[in-house]
Amino acid sequence: MNRPTRFVALGDSFTEGVGDNDLRLPNDCRGWADRVAEEFARHDQRTLYANLAIRGRRLQRIVDEQIEPAMAMEPTLVSFYAGGNDLLMAKLNMTRLMRDYEHAVQRIAASGATVLLFTGYNVPLSPLLEPLKLRTAIYNRHIRRIAATYGTLLVDYWCFEKFQDARMWSPDRLHMSTAGHRYMAKKVLEVLGVPHSLQPPLFGPPLSRTLAENIADDVAWLRRDVGPWFSRRLRGVSSGDRLGPRWPGLMPVVLPERLGTAKARPGIQESSRFS
């Protein structure tokens, strides 16, 4: 009999599921990793799943807090996305970041689990932040090299043209929307070679906007999302400081149609979304 999948997801808000809101679930979100686990479970009810990712985490905290617990679960599949929050820092030692990232991948790959890595995406935040594109390109070049070196699977997010549509992003412009997470789950399952029923998003033509509407949207974004983000950075805190992992231990996958209206929070630390 084939061994059942033991899927452990590691990382930050990208893997936690921020932007794919679901008030029935821990931390009020669902995300691509949950959706991937659900597709596994539809084919094999023995599937077990854990998600240790927490928003705002930089690479070193992900390594320190998530890898050892994940390895103790003896996973068959580990997804690892880290470094995105580091790329947003004013000062960054890219050489050190990628060296530490490679050491983390080496540790995970040594467990014998299938490892799934991701490139980053040039998130369309603002023209003022275009210099981040160069950092992301360098990061991606290293990710592709590391994936080839350790024989991991790679989801080359950078190449997904559908993410050029603003509707794939949440209002904060940094996290994927529900449509974005659903599409990411589809692409992950394709990389894994797992049959699924997920369909790509079907959008109508984008609505035309006036210059005044674009300016008003930018001002609202700066007040609602950028201002609080800078405030947290100045105070040395993160939006995930009071949150625990959404699914901290391997457990059977609860399919969304069976959730009802109650929150499923076994062993999850209660907290507000933002600190």
pLDDT value of residue 5? 95
Residues near 210 by Cβ (< 8 Å), separated by ≥ 6?
A: none
pLDDT-based confidence at 106, cuts 50/70/90? very high
Q: What total of structural domains would you count in the chain?
A: 1
Would you say residue 265 lies in a domain?
Answer: no
pLDDT in tens, 51-77: 999 999 999 999 999 999 999 999 999
Looking at residue 201, its pLDDT comes to 86
Query: Is 115 part of any domain?
Result: yes
64 assigned to some structural domain: yes
In this structure, is residue 225 part of a structural domain?
yes
Report pLDDT for 271: 30
Report the alpha-carbon distance of residue 165 to residue 268 in Å, rounded. 34
Give pLDDT, residue 42.
93
Sign of CA dihedral 136, 16, 33, 178: negative
Mean pLDDT of 219-239: 66
For residue 254, what is the domain's CATH number?
3.40.50.1110
Question: What's this model's pTM, rounded to 2 decimal places?
Answer: 0.87
Residue 263 has pLDDT above 70, yes or no: no
Q: Using pLDDT thresholds of 50, 70 and 90, give the confidence band for residue 273.
A: very low
Residue 206: inside a domain, yes or no?
Answer: no
131 located within any domain:
yes
Has residue 275 got a pLDDT over 90? no
Structure-block tokens of residue 29: 């979100």
Residue 51 backbone phi and psi in degrees, to 5: -130, 110
Look at residue 274 and tell me if it is in a domain: no
* Domain presence at residue 269: no
Q: What is the pLDDT of residue 230?
A: 57
Query: By the 8 A CB rule, do 187 and 160 touch?
Result: yes
CA distances in angstroms from 255 to 8, 30, 38, 180, 265, listed in the order given = 17, 11, 6, 20, 14
- Provide the residue range defining the domain that includes 225: 6-200+211-258
Q: How far apart are CA 98 and CA 104, in angstroms?
A: 10
Q: What are the structure tokens assigned to 121, written together?
A: 């995406």
- The reported pLDDT for the residue numbered 274 is 27
**Tally of residues, the chain:** 275
134 pLDDT above the threshold of 70: yes
Maximal C-alpha separation, the chain? 62
